[in-house]
Structure formats: structure tokens, C-alpha cells
Structure 1
Amino acid sequence: MLAVLSGHRPVHYMLGLTVGEAYEQLVRLAPGTPLRARGTRPVVRTCRGFQPCRGVVEASASIAAGEQVRAMAFRLELSPDLRWRCAAVELGGERLPTGP
């Protein structure tokens, strides 16, 4: 997700790694490259997770991109093929565009 939201990878890179609404959320967020910083790649500073039920992890992370630090929350779900896929993603302070 960091590579997509910083403009280092195209959104379709996440096609097989997302389920449900998560891909559409990334499609709406990615054009603004909210995690892009000149001359530096974003890095995860902290990451915490919580398992509300079996097969689900809800996580939060702080992402540093140059001088900018952003919060990111995401939900991972274990698919029947035993692969973890992103089911939702949000960035702190980032409002998703609505409509077509």
C-alpha cells in the first residue's frame, strides 16, 4: 500500500491483494499520492494490530515520508486460500472523493 500511495507502484498492483471496497478506496486515494515526499520513500514508523475475531486483523500505523508523518488504518482478512488481503484502508486527515 505504501508503494501505491506514494506513486512508486500503480494501483492495479494491489488487485490480488485486496477484497471488497479496499481496491476502490485505493483507486480514489492513489491519484493524489498522499504519501509522496520529494527524494524519499515512505517508511513505517510504528504498526499495531488487534484481532477482533479469527481471520481478521485491524491495524494502525504511522508512516513517515520526509518531514510528513501520517496515520494509516487498515483491515486484513484471511481469505479461503489462506492469504491475507486488505479489506479496508484509511489515511488520517484524507477525505475520500465521492461520486464519479
Structure 2
Amino acid sequence: MFAERLLAVLSGERPVHWMLGRTVGPAYEQLVQLAAATPFGGRGGGRAGVRPVVLSCRVQSVPGGLEAFASVATGDRVRAMAFRLEPGADRRWRCAAVELDDLPPRVPAQSRGPWE
């Protein structure tokens, strides 16, 4: 369900403020920047008139939360979206980070492996 919510914002179907209260830390500002480019809709990644759809979503428990990976169909293309959820004091899950397939990872240069 959370993947569908993120996709609605990143496709331009819903405004980014729809995620207020469902994000934590710098994730909201990250979504503001990502949503401005509508990476899963219109000029940003999907074909005009084709609504992107979550094909599958896998979730893994990690220390401090959950990490999820969703495959998203945008017309004839399949794309990737990953996000991290952390529990709030009210026991509701909140998005702490989002990564898309066409964005470079935000890893400091000193911690990159020999393959980069």
C-alpha cells in the first residue's frame, strides 16, 4: 500500500503534501525534489496517458525498520523504486528514504567499493 502511495506522488497523480505525516527526517524534502520531476509520469518517465502500476513489492525487515523494493510498469518499461520505512512513536510506518532506478546512489566517495 505504501508503494502505491509513493507512486501516486511520483507520477504526479497526487500532490507531494499528501505524504506529510507519512515521512520522517529528510525524506519529505527528498520527495519534494523527486516529485517536481514526475519521474513516473508525463515527461519524467512514463508515456503520456499511461498510468504507472506497481507490479510487485518485496519487503525485508532490517534493524530499525523495513526496506522495500517495488517494480513499476510505466507503459512498456519496468522501473525500480526502493524505500525505507521506520516506525513512529504512534506505531505508524513513515518513509525515511526513497531511491529510484535512474538516480545515482547517495554513497560518500570514501565508502564506495572497488567496482565504482
Q: TM-score, normalised by structure 1?
A: 0.87
Instruction: Say yes or no: does 1:21 pair with 2:26.
Output: yes
Counting matched residue pairs gives 95
RMSD across aligned C-alpha pairs, in angstroms? Answer: 1.5
Which amino acid in the other structure matches residue 71 of structure 1? A
Q: In structure 2, what is the equivalent of residue 43 of structure 1?
A: 53
Which structure's CA Rg is the greater one? 2
Tell me which protein shows more strand as a share of its residues. 1
Indicate the structure whose relative CO is greater, using CA pairs within 8 Å and at least 6 residues apart. 1
**Runs (4+) of structure 1 moved beyond 6 Å?**
none
Looking at structure 2, the residues matched to 28 and 68 of structure 1 have their Cα atoms a distance apart, in angstroms, of 23
Alignment partner of 1:23: what SS?
Answer: helix
Question: What fraction of aligned residue pairs are identical, expressed as a percent?
Answer: 62
Looking at structure 2, the residues matched to 67 and 23 of structure 1 have their Cα atoms a distance apart, in angstroms, of 29
CA deviations on 1:19-78 (whole Å, 9 max, x unpaired) are 01111111111111110132222111121111012x510011111111222111100011
Instruction: Say yes or no: does 1:9 pair with 2:9.
Output: no
Instruction: Say yes or no: does 1:60 pair with 2:69.
Output: yes
For structure 2, the residue ranges without an aligned partner over 5 or more in a row are 1-5, 106-116
For structure 1, the residue ranges without an aligned partner over 5 or more in a row are none
Q: TM-score, normalised by structure 2?
A: 0.76
